[in-house]
Amino acid sequence: MLGSGFIGRFYAEAIHGQRGRDRVVAVYARSEANAKKFAADYGCPIWSTEMEDIVSNPEVTMVCIALPNNKHEEAVRLCAKHHKNVVCTKPLGRNAEEAYTMMKLVEDAGIFAGYLEDLCYTPKFIKALAMVKNGSLGRILWAKSRETHPGPHSDWFWDKEQAGGGCMLDLGCHCVEIARNYIGKDIKPVRAFCWAATQAKPIEAEDHAIALIEYENGAIGQFETSWSFRGGMDLRDEVMGTEGTIWINSFLRTGFEAYTSGKGGDYISEKAESNSGWLFPVGDEVNELGYNHMFTDMFSAAEEGRAPEETFYDGYVVNAILDACYKSAESGKWEPVDLKIWKGQTGLQKISGYQDYDTDHYFIKEEVTHDGRHKIILKQKAGGKIIERDIQKT
């Protein structure tokens, strides 16, 4: 484990959780105190303040990068050098260039590399994606992901140099990959439009950003990210297809509601903004946020010699999309997504909604009205006139 902070601890808990057979055997942290504390907390026999010591240690078969964004490339370079399998936290790079370099490093070294995009492994997401893939929603028209909360836990996130960006890079990387999955990872993201602003925090980077990403088949991805949301962590996906809809709420409304006067216990629940009134805890945070299913995929993929669901290539595509978003936030117009490598489909057309009703008409809508009429709205093929017609319900 490279890094002993908030996310490193979450990862360790997921890996050690339940009756897991995997173990964190070594930890690197910049400060000796942190390294020792982490080692003690999770029973790691090995710790060091030198990253290369840990990466090169023969006990280590898989390196897990849980470092600030500006340290990812260096860590990946060491893994490539020492031929160690590697999994890296999100975002992969601070920009597409860094991500591309990392992708190339692992490809050239021929090592296993996984992109720790946990929100594409939440139990709800996995089942929702299965529904999308089996056709329950028809053709996907729009996929939105929203992640907003009152701001990250550690100082380095708030520093543009170390983090590489603000809430858009930090949270938008999740949202972009979620929408890509729903729309189809083989559908090319073509262009992006973005609004970003620093509305509420005394920082250089954006604390609020909204973007649209258009795909080659006409589908649209959307994200909403903020570090100035009040009320907890708002984590929601919404998907629209021609045949259905999915709404997922992963954190603030999951079927667990509690009211407390605050007179009782002291500590109530993590990330809640208050410890009295109505609270909305999450049962099993590590599982609900996807960590269990993610590491299961990563370790199993490495054992089985296959690629994991989320690869460094995916991390690179995400960074390329976010680069286009940052450019658009500056230019005020759609910016193309610049992909040096594209492995999916190409040359798709935007799909039209023309659906035959009969030889003379296109179908628009069918409806039962208040007063019991069964009504149909059609478009005449010749001339394009829109007409209404009552039909007999069988």
Q: What residues have CB less than 8 Å from 325, skipping those under 6 apart?
A: 168, 172, 192, 193, 194, 196, 209, 211, 213, 335
Pick between residue 105 and residue 235 the one whose CB is nearest to a copy of itself.
235
**DSSP secondary structure, 76-129, as one string:** HHHHHHTT-EEEEESSSSSSHHHHHHHHHHHHHHT--EEEE-GGGSSHHHHHHH
CA distances, 391 to each of 30, 354, 372, 379, 388 (Å): 73, 21, 11, 15, 10
Residue pair 24/12 in contact (Cβ under 8 Å)? The answer is yes
Tell the smallest beta-carbon distance from residue 102 to a copy of itself (Å). Answer: 26
Pick between residue 46 and residue 364 the one whose CB is nearest to a copy of itself.
364
- What's the CA gap between 88 and 73, in Å, rounded? 10
Residue pair 48/28 in contact (Cβ under 8 Å)? The answer is yes
Q: How far is CA 52 from the centre of its chain?
A: 29
Q: Which of residues 2-31 bind a copy of itself (CB under 8 A)?
A: 9, 18-22
* Of 43-51, 70-78, 93-101, 380-388: span binding a copy of itself (CB under 8 A): 380-388
Tell the smallest beta-carbon distance from residue 103 to a copy of itself (Å). Answer: 26
- What's the CA gap between 44 and 192, in Å, rounded? 44
- What's the CA gap between 386 and 16, in Å, rounded? 62
Does residue 353 bind a copy of itself (CB under 8 A)?
yes
Question: Binding residue for a copy of itself (CB under 8 A) from 129, 190, 279, 307?
Answer: 279
Residue pair 163/205 in contact (Cβ under 8 Å)? The answer is yes
Q: Which of residues 220-259 bind a copy of itself (CB under 8 A)?
A: 220, 222, 226, 228-232, 234, 240-250, 253-259
* Of 46-54, 57-65, 165-173, 207-215: span binding a copy of itself (CB under 8 A): 207-215
Q: Which of residues 119-158 bind a copy of itself (CB under 8 A)?
A: 122-128, 131, 134-139, 141-142, 148, 150-151, 153-156, 158
Tell the smallest beta-carbon distance from residue 104 to a copy of itself (Å). Answer: 30
Pick between residue 53 and residue 334 the one whose CB is nearest to a copy of itself.
334
**DSSP secondary structure, 201-219, as one string:** SSSSS-SEEEEEEEETTS-
Pick between residue 46 and residue 268 the one whose CB is nearest to a copy of itself.
268
Pick between residue 48 and residue 254 the one whose CB is nearest to a copy of itself.
254
Question: Binding residue for a copy of itself (CB under 8 A) from 267, 358, 383, 394?
Answer: 267
Pick between residue 123 and residue 344 the one whose CB is nearest to a copy of itself.
123
CA distances, 98 to each of 6, 73, 366 (Å): 23, 7, 51
Q: Which of residues 332-351 bind a copy of itself (CB under 8 A)?
A: 332-334, 350-351
- What's the CA gap between 392 and 266, in Å, rounded? 65
Tell the smallest beta-carbon distance from residue 25 to a copy of itself (Å). Answer: 15
Pick between residue 281 and residue 344 the one whose CB is nearest to a copy of itself.
281
Q: Which of residues 54-83 bind a copy of itself (CB under 8 A)?
A: none
* Of 42-50, 58-66, 176-184, 377-385: span binding a copy of itself (CB under 8 A): 377-385
Between strands 189-197 and 140-148, the pairing is: unpaired
Question: Binding residue for a copy of itself (CB under 8 A) from 347, 354, 358, 392?
Answer: 354
Pick between residue 97 and residue 362 the one whose CB is nearest to a copy of itself.
362
Q: Which residues pair with 366 in a beta bridge?
A: 376
Give the interface size with a copy of itself as a residue count (CB under 8 A).
131
Tell the smallest beta-carbon distance from residue 159 to a copy of itself (Å). Answer: 5
